[in-house]
Amino acid sequence: MDEQVEQDDRSRFEAVYRRTYEQILGYAVRRCASPEDAADIVAETYVIAWRRMAELPPGEAGRLWLYGVARRVLANHRRGERRRATRHAELTAETEHLYAAAPAHRGEHDGVREAMDLLSDDDRELLALSVWEELDPGEIAEVLGCSRNAARIRLHRARKRFARALERTRPSARFEARPLIEESR
């Protein structure tokens, strides 16, 4: 008995989907900023329709019911977008406030930024973990999933490559890489 009801629901859903998909998609496309967002709205609309098959009216009323569902899904999507945009603006302002370089030192930082851009992603990540996150080689090894010794060697090599890159961006400066083995403090 349950199998028959499930099959009937599936057949009914497929018929409703085929009959209304283009109309609901058009509704979403005309109201969304991107085709991807529209596709998400349509997908969520039909997920809700599937879950609430018992409430889906037959015929033309079903199409109108789907428009109502799509309208509410779109409203939720827009609220989420506004929340994300607001939070992004707050985080951007907070980050700029906390990490903005003083104008007098901006040239110095530009050279570092240029040198970092010359490095591989792996080298940049190693240096960032060491300098920005203040992780020691053992902690870096844990993050990278390698041995402490491998992390120390990789970090040493990354520092040497950074020093060479910095010399290229600021030829008048001369930098020495930190030694592979640091003395205990």
Give residue-wise pLDDT tens across range 79-132. 999 999 999 999 888 888 777 654 444 555 667 888 888 889 889 889 988 888
| pLDDT confidence of residue 102 | 47
Of the candidates 147, 126, 129, the residue with the CA atom closest to the CA atom of residue 138: 147
Fold assignment, 103-169: Arc Repressor Mutant, subunit A (1.10.10)
Fold assignment, 2-98: Rna Polymerase Sigma Factor; Chain: A (1.10.1740)
CA 147 from centroid of its chain's CA atoms: 29
Cα 152–156–162 angle (5° rounding)? 140
Percent of the chain with pLDDT over 90: 53
Tens of pLDDT, residues 129-148: 888 888 999 999 988 899 99
53 close to 13: Cβ distance less than 8 angstroms: yes
- CATH 1.10.10.10 range(s) for the chain read 103-169
Burial class of residue 25 in the structure, from the number of CB atoms within 10 Å of its CB (0-12 exposed, 13-18 middle, 19+ buried): middle
